[in-house]
Chain A
Amino acid sequence: MTKEEILQKLAELIEDCFDEEVTITRETVADDVDGWDSLGQIRLLAAAEKEFNIHFAISDVRHLDNVGDLVDVIDRMLNL
């Protein structure tokens, strides 16, 4: 899976989780999406775990500043 495809999939998950139609790019941050608070983020991470068949470790998610960071983490985990 390419990073572009990961971003695409994440965009779909974000749209579902927050029920918002927003254009998602690597630069998108939580503040850009209505309702994306810390509790919503947990849901997104859980959905991503299931979607990509991965398990996040604490170190993976500590310093996520934008969607691009999350794409990179997932990409790294998929290529292990």
Chain B
Amino acid sequence: MSFLQYPLDYSYLMAKRKKIRKQVMSNIQSPIKKRIAILGGSTTSEIAAMLDLFLLDNNIEVEIYESEYNQYWEDAVFGNMDLESFQPDFIYIHTTFRNIEVFPNIADSPEQVNQLLNSEFNRLSQMWTALSEKYSCPIIQNNFDRPSYRLMGNRDIWDDCGKSSFINKLNQKIYEYAAAHERFYVNDIDYLSAQIGLNKWHSSFYWNMYKYAMSMEAIPYVAKSVSDIVKSLLGKNKKAVALDLDNTLWGGVIGDDGIEGISIGQELPEGQAYYEFQKYCKELKNIGVILTINSKNDEDNALAGLNHPDGVLKPDDFVLIKANWNPKSQNLLETATELNLGIDSFVFVDDNPAEREIVNQHLPAVAVPAIGSVDNYIQVLDNTGFFETTILSSEDINKTQTYRENKKRNEFQNSFLNYEDYLDSLKMRAVIKPFDSLHLQRIAQLTNKSNQFNLTTKRCTEKDIEEMSQSNQFITLYLSLSDKFGDNGIVSLAAGEISGHELNIELWLMSCRVLKRNVEAALMNELVRIAKKKSIRTIVGHYYPTPKNGMVKDFYKEMGFMRIKADENGNTDWVLQVEDYSDKKTSIMINN
């Protein structure tokens, strides 16, 4: 939906909201359903309406609870029956500088100011503590925007008694809290207000008349920002960027202009702009985004351009380079298949509107931002929110390296005639252990991102994982795999609930990066071994079909289970008698 991307036309969104919503709802397929509680320190109705729309655009359908006007603190600290029975999956605290109770007086001493700061912050943290104790769901908290005036002018920001200074310090304390606490996220309205401009952000008309803490024009930006955080936590970020080359990563056409003719580098203005964009793409790679090339060029020319000494990106930064004369939509499909990524996890970046349109038509699942001119590439891409980073794991940071190692593995494999010899020579080692607090985030992240090798597609929050890991009634296992090429990190999960002498597997998934290596055999062998130790006699498994997990339809059959039930929707139940199980062959060595 192009009108749900920057720049946001607030009056169009507001006026046509009902029509837009109807249109989106008629096209939506199996949305995720979640509940969001908005605790507001000002009027929240329009924010809720916009948030609903932006989330629908991400295939997330929400029920929204709004606290009574300005009852955000009371709802959090004293509890509220309606909020409790609502059972939110996310809590958004919509406060602004207008909710700061006491500001310093001009004559206050540094100690007095500090006291005020602490009491104001404690009022906030009291809320967060109460909420996390009762709900254990992610909390999204606005930081504070700046007022529309500065009493002392420029002094307001550095004088302890200035409002601007006070807000700044309060924000710092919020950021420290965010860095130290999981499941707590900042919605940066300070940035949003700067981006739109304080003059547009503040509206005394809408505040005085209707107690909206920001103008109508600003509200869609706030809602989009919150929706980015929510969809990121639900695993909806894009994973890869497919980049064009000519006039996207450098100025000019390398096939015509040659390596000396393209504009890239810090010498001239145009080259500088492309240089900045290459730098931005490289930084995206550092936070776990996969970079690929999708260009109409001879491969030699493409590589020559990427090896330009004044560029930032080098061929090694890309996991896959498709430089040929095939349709770009075909390249994208092949790239997705080769990397084992869903086509809907791609962003296609191309300066040419005609190429963008072709991809739009053939592959509607691919995100195709209208990037405009090179002066705006970074801003346009940044504003999409496709890579909203809520969780940053070491796996994310090393993602490109992991994919490149995989490529080496594939090439290595091709040099073997016998597949088993290949597997042996990989020298794979696995660590298989119960879920623990150290890996909570990564485990929860995996349950939300894995779609293909996923038997039940059970999506788990960090709280769910924590509860499973702490319960005696659960057997939980993660498998972390490394081989001679590198460490893949955690690649597979299994979890089941014990009932009497039966183990019921609720969760079984594996990353597609390690397909066909008998990882599942290693994990099943270990699961059965542990089950035997706990006197379990039967293990039950389930397969719930989705559009993406067809590959594991017969997984339990391959593991030696017997099918006991099948319904008309394709759901199947399987059972294994533990004493009948014999270890499945695998070249993976367990290294606990």
Question: Contact between B15 and A56 (Cβ–Cβ < 8 Å)?
Answer: no
B8-29 CB mask vs A (1 if < 8 Å, else 0) is: 0011001111110010000000
Question: Contact between B212 and A47 (Cβ–Cβ < 8 Å)?
Answer: no
A42 to B11, CA, bound (A): 11
Residues of chain B lying within 8 A (CB to CB) of residue A56: 205
- Return the contact of B205 from the options A19, A47, A55 (Cβ within 8 A): A55
Question: Contact between B19 and A46 (Cβ–Cβ < 8 Å)?
Answer: no
Residues of chain A lying within 8 A (CB to CB) of residue B208: 58
**Distance in Å from the Cβ of B294 to the closest Cβ of chain A?**
38
Q: Is B45 an interface residue (CB 8 A)?
A: yes
Q: Is B210 an interface residue (CB 8 A)?
A: yes
Question: Contact between A13 and B45 (Cβ–Cβ < 8 Å)?
Answer: no
A20 to B209, CA, bound (A): 26
Residues of chain A lying within 8 A (CB to CB) of residue B15: 13, 16-17, 43, 47
Question: Contact between A19 and B209 (Cβ–Cβ < 8 Å)?
Answer: no
List residues of B (200-232) whose CB comes within 8 Å of A's CBs.
205-206, 208-210, 212, 216-217
A19 to B15, CA, bound (A): 9
Residues of chain B lying within 8 A (CB to CB) of residue A49: 11, 216
Question: Given contacts A16-B15, A19-B18, A51-B11, is CB(A42)–CB(B212) below 8 Å?
Answer: yes
Question: Contact between B18 and A18 (Cβ–Cβ < 8 Å)?
Answer: yes
Nearest chain B residue, comparing its CB with the CB of A18: B18
Question: Contact between A43 and B46 (Cβ–Cβ < 8 Å)?
Answer: yes
Residues of chain A lying within 8 A (CB to CB) of residue B216: 42-43, 46, 49
A38-80 CB mask vs B (1 if < 8 Å, else 0) is: 1100110011011100011110010000000000000000000
A57 to B206, CA, bound (A): 9
Question: Contact between A46 and B210 (Cβ–Cβ < 8 Å)?
Answer: no
Question: Given contacts A13-B15, A51-B11, is CB(A39)–CB(B46) below 8 Å?
Answer: yes
Nearest chain A residue, comparing its CB with the CB of B209: A58
**Distance in Å from the Cβ of B3 to the closest Cβ of chain A?**
13
A61 to B205, CA, bound (A): 10
Residues of chain A lying within 8 A (CB to CB) of residue B22: 19
Question: Contact between A17 and B209 (Cβ–Cβ < 8 Å)?
Answer: no
Do most interface residues of chain B lie in helix, strand or loop, or is the interface mixed? helix
A39 to B206, CA, bound (A): 11
- Return the contact of A61 from the options B11, B14, B209, B217 (Cβ within 8 A): B209
A46 to B14, CA, bound (A): 8
Question: Contact between B11 and A46 (Cβ–Cβ < 8 Å)?
Answer: yes
**Distance in Å from the Cβ of B454 to the closest Cβ of chain A?**
39
List residues of B (471-511) whose CB comes within 8 Å of A's CBs.
none
Residues of chain A lying within 8 A (CB to CB) of residue B205: 55-58
**Distance in Å from the Cβ of A74 to the closest Cβ of chain B?**
15
A55 to B14, CA, bound (A): 17
Residues of chain B lying within 8 A (CB to CB) of residue A61: 209
Residues of chain B lying within 8 A (CB to CB) of residue A19: 18-19, 22
A51 to B46, CA, bound (A): 19
Question: Contact between B45 and A39 (Cβ–Cβ < 8 Å)?
Answer: yes
**Distance in Å from the Cβ of A55 to the closest Cβ of chain B?**
7
A64 to B19, CA, bound (A): 27
A10 to B392, CA, bound (A): 49
Residues of chain B lying within 8 A (CB to CB) of residue A55: 205
Residues of chain A lying within 8 A (CB to CB) of residue B209: 42, 58, 61
- Return the contact of A50 from the options B10, B17, B18, B45 (Cβ within 8 A): B10
**Distance in Å from the Cβ of A38 to the closest Cβ of chain B?**
8
A11 to B19, CA, bound (A): 16
- Return the contact of B10 from the options A13, A42, A46 (Cβ within 8 A): A46
Q: Which of B206, B209, B210, B212 has the most CB of A within 10 A?
A: B209
Question: Contact between B210 and A42 (Cβ–Cβ < 8 Å)?
Answer: yes
Residues of chain A lying within 8 A (CB to CB) of residue B17: 17, 43
Residues of chain A lying within 8 A (CB to CB) of residue B210: 38, 42
Nearest chain B residue, comparing its CB with the CB of A62: B209
List residues of B (1-54) whose CB comes within 8 Å of A's CBs.
10-11, 14-19, 22, 45-46
A24 to B46, CA, bound (A): 24
Question: Given contacts A43-B46, A46-B11, is CB(A16)–CB(B206) below 8 Å?
Answer: no
Nearest chain B residue, comparing its CB with the CB of A16: B15
**Distance in Å from the Cβ of A43 to the closest Cβ of chain B?**
5
List residues of A (12-45) whose CB comes within 8 Å of B's CBs.
13, 16-19, 38-39, 42-43
**Distance in Å from the Cβ of A77 to the closest Cβ of chain B?**
13
Q: Which of B11, B17, B19, B208 has the most CB of A within 10 A?
A: B11
**Distance in Å from the Cβ of A49 to the closest Cβ of chain B?**
8
Nearest chain B residue, comparing its CB with the CB of A37: B45
Q: Which of A39, A46, A56, A58 has the most CB of B within 10 A?
A: A46
Residues of chain B lying within 8 A (CB to CB) of residue A51: 11
Residues of chain A lying within 8 A (CB to CB) of residue B217: 46
Question: Contact between A42 and B46 (Cβ–Cβ < 8 Å)?
Answer: yes
Residues of chain B lying within 8 A (CB to CB) of residue A57: 205
Residues of chain A lying within 8 A (CB to CB) of residue B19: 16, 19
Residues of chain A lying within 8 A (CB to CB) of residue B11: 46-47, 49-51
Shortest beta-carbon contacts, A-B, top 4: A50-B11, A46-B216, A19-B18, A16-B15
- A-B contact list, 24 entries, CB within 8 Å: A16-B15, A16-B16, A16-B19, A17-B14, A17-B17, A19-B18, A19-B19, A19-B22, A42-B210, A42-B212, A42-B216, A43-B14, A43-B17, A43-B46, A43-B216, A46-B10, A47-B11, A47-B15, A49-B11, A55-B205, A56-B205, A58-B205, A58-B208, A61-B209
Residues of B at under 8 Å CB distance from A? 10-11, 14-19, 22, 45-46, 205-206, 208-210, 212, 216-217
Residues of A at under 8 Å CB distance from B? 13, 16-19, 38-39, 42-43, 46-47, 49-51, 55-58, 61
Given A58-B209, A61-B209, 19 more pairs with CB closer than 8 A? A16-B15, A17-B14, A18-B18, A19-B18, A19-B22, A39-B46, A42-B206, A42-B216, A43-B14, A43-B216, A46-B11, A46-B14, A46-B217, A47-B14, A50-B10, A50-B11, A56-B205, A57-B205, A58-B208
